[in-house]
Structure 1
Amino acid sequence: MLTEGFWYTWILIPALIFFARVADVSIGTIRIVFISKGLKILAPVLGFFEILIWLLAMTKVFENLDNWLYFIAYSAGFAAGNYIGLLIEEKLAIGYVNLQIITQNSGIELAQKLSERGFGVTWHDAFGSRGKVTVIYCVSKRSNFELATGIIKKSNPKAFYTIEDVRYANQGVHPLPAMQRGFVQFPRRKGK
């Protein structure tokens, strides 16, 4: 029969170390994102809790340097915390992204479809290595970029596009919630 000391030493403490590391590394990942987005108030608050949890986990590890399972729990918690932190950051979708779309087809139809869905777009004609192209720029909230990429894939599946993080965006045109969305008149280009 397993003793109470066995459960404490070999199950409970390693589990607590694991979950403490998952928590502090997840918080650390989100804190770094907040720093990169310029959220000056939230980042230090998260940093406080990140280090507090880390100190609690490290105390248990240093108290029991002869127990190899604590090292495994600590390392596994670190790895899982990175993954979970990135998942949380992806779900938060804080900030803006810049979509740069390059298409050999007429980009005006794609720009119009994006505009009709409420996205602000800017475009110009350019020349690429294979001839004439249209370059479309669209700055969007991260929470809306999947909607924009869905429109691109449906409207022009061969379009080349990149997505870059934007630290700060002033003003702009962004999609409204579905109930507030109306038709946006797209200006026609002269001579077409």
Structure 2
Amino acid sequence: MEFFFAGLGISSDLFAIVVLPLLIFFARIIDVSINTVRIIFVMTGRKGIATILGFLESLVWLLAIGQIFKHLDNIYSYIAYPAGFAAGIYVGMRIEEKLALGKVVVRIISSEDIDSIVTYLNKHKFKYSIISGESDHGEEKILFTVLKREALPGLKQKISEEIPTAFYTVESVKSASETGLVVEKPNRRRLGSWLASVKRK
């Protein structure tokens, strides 16, 4: 590689101090970013593209680590390597946000009226289920819904606007069926009575 850059008029000192660390830095960004995206594809069950990304990730990593071993006396390479790793994590997360791959399950728990959220879900044809529970704050409604990740910001904004005090969690799901349930308010007198109240939406 030194011979190639020497042909471009780049001195060995410039190569060691600037060019090589930059190459390692950007190689690490690429391979860590690929790794982040690959994990998302693995979680969503996309085996083919995850396999291809895994091959590319390993190839880029070998090229980067190979340059480290060839220049063990270059301190700048040791700085560039972890710096590229850290930057790659950030870049990979940004890519994942833009791609918005897969589905998520959202759980909303609130003691307030959630009819506005239900209306929003019905409007966008999102499947959901509702059950009633009880906490130290009194009666609570628990809403479950599964939607594409790209639709999550809209739902979160709706929650913050309509029921800002609501508690909600978001988790990634590998797959989800297309059927959905809407659950009527359960009877707290008997533990299993709410099961009989389940009806198809």
TM-score, normalising length from structure 1? 0.83
Tell whether 2:96 aligns with 1:89.
Answer: yes
Supply the distance in 1 between the matched residues of 2:120 and 2:37 (Cα, whole angstroms): 34
Supply the distance in 2 between the matched residues of 1:162 and 1:93 (Cα, whole angstroms): 17
Aligned length: 175
> Residues 108-154 of structure 1: CA distance to partner in whole angstroms, max 9, x if unpaired?
33312332243332212222221111111111100001101111111
> Residues 40-70 of structure 1: CA distance to partner in whole angstroms, max 9, x if unpaired?
1111100111111111111111111011111
Supply the distance in 2 between the matched residues of 1:106 and 1:124 (Cα, whole angstroms): 13
TM-score, normalising length from structure 2? 0.80
Partner of 1:179: none
> Residues 48-102 of structure 1: CA distance to partner in whole angstroms, max 9, x if unpaired?
1111111111111111101111111111111111121111112211111111111
Partner of 1:18: 25
Letter aligned with residue 139 of structure 2:
K
Supply the distance in 2 between the matched residues of 1:29 and 1:114 (Cα, whole angstroms): 30
Give the percent of matched residue pairs that are identical in Structure 1 and Structure 2.
39
Supply the distance in 1 between the matched residues of 2:70 and 2:88 (Cα, whole angstroms): 23
Partner of 1:106: 113
1:157 to 159, 164, 189: 164
Supply the distance in 2 between the matched residues of 1:144 and 1:109 (Cα, whole angstroms): 17
CA contact (8 A) 2:38 2:54 kept: yes
Supply the distance in 1 between the matched residues of 2:117 and 2:53 (Cα, whole angstroms): 41
Supply the distance in 2 between the matched residues of 1:172 and 1:65 (Cα, whole angstroms): 58
Q: Is there any run of 5+ residues in structure 1 with no aligned partner, and where?
A: 174-188
Over the aligned positions, Cα root-mean-square deviation in angstroms equals 2.2
Partner of 2:126: 119
Letter aligned with residue 137 of structure 2:
R
Tell whether 2:179 aligns with 1:168.
Answer: no
Supply the distance in 1 between the matched residues of 2:176 and 2:97 (Cα, whole angstroms): 19
Tell whether 2:148 aligns with 1:145.
Answer: no
Letter aligned with residue 136 of structure 2:
S
Runs of 4+ in structure 1 over 4 Å off? none
Deviates more, 1:117-126 or 1:135-144: 117-126
Supply the distance in 2 between the matched residues of 1:113 and 1:40 (Cα, whole angstroms): 34
CA contact (8 A) 2:43 2:173 kept: no
Deviates more, 1:98-107 or 1:3-12: 3-12
Supply the distance in 2 between the matched residues of 1:37 and 1:170 (Cα, whole angstroms): 13
Q: Give the CA deviation at 1:172.
A: 5.2
Q: Give the CA deviation at 1:5.
A: 2.1
Letter aligned with residue 34 of structure 2:
I
Letter aligned with residue 44 of structure 2:
K
CA contact (8 A) 1:29 1:82 kept: yes
Supply the distance in 2 between the matched residues of 1:82 and 1:158 (Cα, whole angstroms): 32
Letter aligned with residue 101 of structure 1:
I
